Structure 1
Amino acid sequence: MATRSRDDREARRRIRQMEAKRELRQQQGKRRKRDNVLAAGAGATALVLAVVLQLTVFSSNPTEAEFAAAQAGLSSPSASPAASNSADVPSADTAAGKTFTGELTLNSGVVGVQLDGSAAPQAAAVLKSLSDSGYYNGASCHRLTTAETFGLLQCGAKSADGADDPGYRWGPLENTPADNKYPAGTIAVARTGNDAYGNGHQFFIVYKDTTIPADSAGGYTVVGKVTSGLDVVTKIAAAGLKAGAANNDGAPVAPVTIDSFSLK
C-alpha cells in the first residue's frame, strides 16, 4: 500500500509538470503571436508613412528645397524669392520712402502723376530710372480695355505689338490690392502672368474702377496714382478700339504715343 501511494504521488507530480510545461508553451505561443501582430502593425504604419511622404514629395517632381520642406513638414516654398532682378534694374533703396511727382504726356494731353516709394519702392525706382533715361519717350500705349468693370490703358511698349524686352525683368510684387480692386486713377505695373518677377518696362493706368483677379503669383503692383488729367485717358477710351478687337480688349482706335514722362 505504501509503495502504491508513492507511485500515485509521483504520477500526479509528473502530470502537474506536464501541464505546467504545456501552459508555458501556450503562453509563449500567444506572446509570439502578439509580438508578430505588433511588428506587422508597426511595419504597416511605417509603410503608410513612407507612401504618404512619397506622394507628398514626389507628386510634382519637387526641387531640393521642396523636398527638404516636405521632410520638415512645411509648405512648399514659393519660387519667387529665389528669382533675381536683371543687372540694370535700379535698387529699391533709391526710391524707398520717397514720393515722386511729374507729368506723363499722351498725344499732347498732360496727365499728372504721383509715385509712392514707400508702398512700392522697387516699382517706383524702376519707373523713375526709366523716365530719367528717356526710355518712355516715343513709346506707345498699345492696349486698351473697355469692359464694364475692366478699364485700363497699358503703356510703355516700344513696338506696335506690345512686346517687351525679356532681358529686363524684376520683382517682387509690392502693394497689391487684397480685394483685387483697382480704383480709377491707379497706376500699376504690367507683368507676365503667374510670375512675381515678371515685371518689365510697362505700366497701366486705370481710368475707371476695375477688378483684376489675382493669378497664381498674386495681384499687380500699385506704384502710384493720377493726380490730374485722367480725362486724357478717358477720352482715349471713349474713342474705342481698333477694328477686330475682341472681348473689349485691344489696340486703341487711334495710336497713342508717350511724348514724354518726367518725374522729380
Structure 2
Amino acid sequence: MTTKKQAKANALKKQHAYEARVAAKRRRRERIIRVTALVTAGALLLGGGLAVLLIAMHENNQAKAASTTEATASSTADDEVTLESGWAVSPEPPDPSYAEDRTWTATLATSQGDIVVELDGAAAPQAVASFVELAKEGYFDGTDCHRLTTSGIYVLQCGDPTGTGTGGPGYRFGPVENAPADDFYPAGTVAMARVGGDGESMGSQFFIVYQDSTIPSDSAGGYTVLGQVVEGNGSVSRVAEAGTITGDTDGPPAMSVIVNEVSVS
C-alpha cells in the first residue's frame, strides 16, 4: 500500500504527464486548422487533386509527430502501473468464481476525494472478479480518468493506465452481464466500458454515471453494471461541472481526476 507522500508524488507525476498529452493534442489541433486553411486555398487555386495530396501528406506527418510526443508522455505516465506478472498481463481474465458471489466494497482514493463503490459479485461475477483482482495488483493505482461526457449521457470514464481510451490488461472478456433492460443507468451506476457492438471487448475501463442517463443498447446489448457508488458521487459531479478541457461535450475532464489507489474488501 502506498503512503500518503508516495500517493501525492505519484499524483503530481500523473498530472504532469496528463498535461503533456493534452498540450500535444491541442498543438496538433491548431496545426491541423492552420494547414486545412492553406489546403483549402490551394484547392481553389490548383484544383482538388493537389489539395488531397497535401492533406494526406500533412496527416501522415502529424501522425508521426503525435506518436513520438504521446509515446514520451505515456512512458512517463505508465511507469507506476507497468506490471510484469499477474492478471494485468494474463491472456485470460480471472475466473468469475473469484467474485465469491458476494458484495465487495471498493474505495477509489482519487485526487478529488474518495469514491466508495459497492460491487455486486453475484450479478456481475466476471466483471467484479476482474476489477477486484486488478485492484489487488495495484493496476489502477496512479491512473487518470481520461474521458468525461456532459451531454446525452453523463459519465466519467476511468481505468485505462495509458490515459488514451485504448489501454487495458492483456485479456478481454464478455459477454455483457447485468445490463438494465430499459437502458436506464441511474446516477451512481458503475459500469464497464467496451467497444461498440462487441460484448467480448471489456477489460479494465469502467465509467461512473454522475447523472441519470439512458444509454442505448447496441447489437451486443447494454453495458455491464458491476456496482453502485455509495459515497463520493458529489466529487464526480464537481468534475462534471468543470467540463472538459477543450470545452467539448466529450473529452478529457478539465479538472484532473487521478486514481491514486484502489482498495477492495
TM-score, structure 1 as length reference? 0.64
Match of 2:144 among 129, 140, 147: 140
Q: Which amino acid is 2:138 matched to?
A: G
2:16 paired residue number: none
What per-residue deviation string (whole Å, max 9, x for no partner) do you get for residues 164-202 of structure 1? 137420112100111111000000000111111110110
**TM-score (normalised: structure 2):** 0.64
Q: Which one of 74, 88, 92 corresponds to residue 96 of structure 2? A: 92
Choose from 218, 223, 228 the match for 2:221: 218
The aligned residue for residue 48 of structure 2 is none
CA–CA distance in structure 2, aligned partners of residues 187 and 95 of structure 1: 16
Report the Cα distance in structure 1 between the residues aligned to 2:163 and 2:118, rounded to whole angstroms.
27
Deviations for 1:42-85, whole angstroms, at most 9, x for unmatched residues? xxxxxxxxxxxxxxxxxxxxxxxxxxxxxxxxxxxxxxxxxxxx
Which is greater in Rg? 1
For the pair 1:262 / 2:249, whether they are aligned, the reply is: no
DSSP-derived class of the 1:193 partner:
coil
User: How far apart, in 2, do the equivalents of 1:244 and 1:227 lie?
Assistant: 29
Counterpart selection for 2:191 from 185, 188, 193: 188
Residues paired across the two proteins, number: 176
Q: Give the gaps of 5 or more residues in structure 1.
A: 1-85
Is the contact between residue 101 and residue 263 of structure 1 (CA under 8 Å) also seen in structure 2?
yes
Say yes or no: does 1:230 pair with 2:233.
Answer: yes
The residue number in structure 2 matching 1:201 is 204
- The letter for the 1-side match of 2:254 is V
Task: Find runs of 4+ consecutive structure 1 residues off by over 3 angstroms.
Answer: none
2:75 alignment counterpart: none
1:129 equivalent to 2:128? Answer no
Aligned partner of residue 200 in structure 1, secondary structure: coil
Q: Which residue of 2 aligns with 1:78?
A: none
Q: Counterpart in 2 of 1:62?
A: none
| Alpha-carbon distance in 2 for matches of 1:105, 1:224 | 17
Task: State the partner residue of 1:107.
Answer: 111
Which consecutive residues of structure 2, in runs of 5 or more, have no partner in the other structure? Answer: 1-89
